[in-house]
Amino acid sequence: MAQSIYITSAEGHSGKSTVALGVLDALSHATPRVGVFRAIARSTTERDYVLEMLLDHDGVDLPYDECIGVTYDDVRHDPEAALATIVERYKAVEAQCDAVVIVGSDYTDVGSPAELAYNARIAANLGAPVLLVVGGRSAQNQTQPEQLGSSLARTPAEVGQLADLALAELRHGRAKLFAVVANRADPERVDETVAAIRRAVAASASAPAPGAAPVPVWAIPEDRFLVAPSIRGIMRAVDGELLTGDPDRLTREALAVVVAGMSMVNVLPRLLEGGVVIIPADRSEVLLATLLANASGTFPSISGIVLNGGFELPEPVTRLLDGLGSKVPVITTDLGTYETAVRIMSTRGRLAADSQRRYDTALALFEQSVDIDELLTAFGVARATVVTPLMFEFQLIERARAQRKRVVLPEGDDDRVLRAAATVLKRGIADLVILGEPFEVRARAIELGIDIQGAEVLSPLDAVHVHKFAEEYARLRAHKGVTVAQAADTVTDVSYFGTMMVHLGMADGMVSGAAHTTAHTIRPAFEIIKTRPGVSVVSSVFLMALADRVLVYGDCAVIPDPTSEQLADIAISSAATAAQFGIDPRVAMLSYSTGESGSGADVEKVRDATALVRTRAPELLVEGPIQYDAAADAAVAAAKMPGSQVAGRATVFVFPDLNTGNNTYKAVQRSAGAVAIGPVLQGLNKPINDLSRGALVDDIVNTIAITAIQAQGE
């Protein structure tokens, strides 16, 4: 039977979706099969955005329709029948999972005791302990009209009183308490808030069993970006349509509202960073001035514009808008100014998977505020022996975070790189240097609605650095006749500039290749970083995350036809890389023949390489030549190579040539659904890693984490 946890709150707008996402993420990194169940959905006609976000998580593989219990209408019509249906539908999900995160109702009426009591009954009948979420802020909006998503902070005593009332309801409903989380707590009084809740928990509990652990209590501080509405949410609230601008920017948060009911010269000084500007549709001069101010870089960057009143823009103005090519979303609505402002001020932020910044912020806040090990221990989930791709990726991030390194990203003009950088910074994976013109890079990040303020942005044309790098590069390449003047031209190339930063200790590693060829990325490393002592070649591996384990494939990206000496180098380097990432190296030197069964030049090359590995690294477990099936399958190994310590149990697969390795890794990736992480370059004095030009944001994040881990071992 699956372990389960029921997440509910004492009122609406407590942000329990943030907590649910954090719990789901933690569980998916500890156990392979995690499920989600929404006990009560608001509607049958509109899909539940919280459930969709949770199901979109990489660790969950369940269809939407199976994960809903009943609707509010079902509960109102017959609460007992609805409860029976919830139990029945939950059991179907439970049967498919090792752990299930159950999300309670959303509170159509804020602070309804009856609704919490019903959630307590559901939890008791499902046998799921309750993680209670209490709000650190009240639902009442502040009086300052320019603030969006803000609310009045509760004192720690008020939060404690709310927890006390909610705990009484849970106890009355015979629900077992798992933990309490205060969400959106006052950042200045987090410890006081936790203490107040602990007092409430202690007062409400019966005498604990001897040796029983206390109920965990955590507090997650308020974050303005999580509670601010998105431009898409505002468009929905005002029944608007997108007139012009980039649809991708609808995910950007609106942090303030400006009502432009005055002349142009008076509106411009009142623009606010991240604000949404309400402009009457018949004030086209204010619209144009606002867009020009945003593009100028001398005024705050706005998130969007709402044209109210339903007036149609004159054709010359529309033509001018088209010519400006502004990406700022401009939304039209038929509502008047007052109604538009009221609806925007009432719009609340939604945590959804389509906003990477909001998603990353929620996970980062949860990880920083909640003791994940304590959570998993209290939940009774032990770390699984199998390693899924998601679990391995999390292990990479955990290891990178343990000792943060500084990684340079030369391709600051690539949106994927900027998005990945925002995730890396928010999750605390590494410190970053992004190459590019600072104004352009930071302006583009603002346009994308992402936060890279924590990164250093450095121009590759910076005169001081170019002079310094040119002198060093000319010294390194003097034997090739390179002058300082020639070097000054060379080092302004972003790959050379980034590599020089690594060489001189200004960065611990480099990740590039999203917009450049492999040769362009690694050629500077060959010239400047060079190979480690005792290593003759730079090679690569892919970390192949299968359904239940991680294997190492080398070399699949660099050396076309290695000699036996190079093959031995690849094997030793690949084993070292495996060990660096927590994989016990058992090396299979692959060929079309196993043991002494075959002959020929290709087999002899592998046989010689195996002998060299045993001589140069006698501590390694290595077998070769060996066929892939004998290396990977215990039954085949028993027949072909009985008694081998590697056959049937290999973790490091060394291919005889690039043709075989590249095709095999792609075949396994596509046919077996493996996640291929890499290529990871090995053999260099300092870590430089190449990206595929088709790399996704997650690929870039993983490669940055890998580079940081490699740097930790330097």
CATH of the domain at 516: 3.40.50.10950
Contact indicator for 691, 513 with CB cutoff of 8 Å: yes
Dig out the tokens for 656 from the structure.
């005889």
Residue 184 shares a structural domain with residue 292: no
Q: What is the dihedral of CA 55, 108, 304, 312, to 10 degrees?
A: 120
Closest CA to 648 of 627, 675, 668: 627
Residue 520 shares a structural domain with residue 558: no
Residue 219 shares a structural domain with residue 98: yes
269 within domain boundaries: yes
Residue 579 shares a structural domain with residue 604: yes
Residue 497 shares a structural domain with residue 550: no
* CATH number for the domain that contains residue 371: 3.40.50.300
pLDDT at res. 150: 56
Residue 282 shares a structural domain with residue 189: no
3 state DSSP class of 5: strand
Distance (Å, whole) CA 307 – CA 41: 34
19 within domain boundaries: yes
Instruction: Decide which of 528, 556, 586 is a domain's last residue.
Output: 528
- Structural domain including 70 reads 3-224+356-379
**Phi, psi dihedrals of residue 397, rounded to the nearest 5°:** -65, -40
pLDDT at res. 142: 39
Distance (Å, whole) CA 508 – CA 522: 16
pLDDT at res. 109: 43
pLDDT at res. 110: 39
3 state DSSP class of 310: coil
What are the helix (H) ranges across 380-493? 389-402, 415-426, 438-448, 463-476, 484-490
Residue 482 shares a structural domain with residue 585: no
Peptide bond into 187 cis (omega under 30): no
Instruction: Decide which of 528, 555, 577 is a domain's last residue.
Output: 528
Distance (Å, whole) CA 46 – CA 44: 6
**Phi, psi dihedrals of residue 403, rounded to the nearest 5°:** -145, 85
pLDDT at res. 521: 86
Consecutive sets of 10 residues in the chain, 714 residues long: mean pLDDT of each?
84 84 88 89 78 85 90 87 92 90 74 76 92 81 49 85 90 90 90 92 67 82 84 92 90 89 89 92 91 88 92 89 89 94 84 73 89 85 64 86 94 93 93 94 85 93 93 90 90 94 95 86 89 85 88 90 93 92 92 80 91 94 91 90 90 94 90 85 91 86 94 83
714 within domain boundaries: no
Domain count for the chain, please give it.
Answer: 4
405 within domain boundaries: yes
* CATH number for the domain that contains residue 323: 3.40.1390.20
Peptide bond into 210 cis (omega under 30): no
Taking the CA of residue 614 as centre, how many other CA atoms within 13 Å lie in the half-sphere pointing to its CB? 12
Can you give the C-alpha Rg of the chain in angstroms?
29
Residue 154 shares a structural domain with residue 295: no
Q: For residue 101, give Cα distances in angstroms to 212, 362, 578.
A: 24, 17, 34
Cβ neighbours of residue 670 closer than 8 Å, sequence gap 6 or more: none
What are the helix (H) ranges across 633-683? 634-640, 658-671
Residue 468 shares a structural domain with residue 488: yes
560 within domain boundaries: yes
Tokens 């060079």 identify what position? 530
DSSP bridge partners of 502: none
pLDDT at res. 149: 56
Distance (Å, whole) CA 121 – CA 360: 33
pLDDT at res. 323: 87
pLDDT at res. 376: 86
Four-residue CA torsion sign, 420, 421, 427, 429: positive
What are the helix (H) ranges across 56-172? 72-77, 79-94, 113-126, 156-172
Dig out the tokens for 433 from the structure.
């240097």
pLDDT at res. 425: 94
Sheet with 177-185, edge to edge strand ranges? 68-71, 34-41, 99-103, 3-9, 130-135, 177-185, 217-221
Peptide bond into 555 cis (omega under 30): yes
707 within domain boundaries: no
Instruction: Decide which of 499, 528, 557 is a domain's last residue.
Output: 528
53 within domain boundaries: yes
Closest CA to 341 of 250, 249, 279: 279
pTM for the full predicted model: 0.77
Residue 35 shares a structural domain with residue 175: yes
704 within domain boundaries: no
pLDDT at res. 405: 95
Residue 116 shares a structural domain with residue 193: yes
Distance (Å, whole) CA 89 – CA 39: 9
Residue 444 shares a structural domain with residue 493: yes
**Phi, psi dihedrals of residue 593, rounded to the nearest 5°:** -135, 150
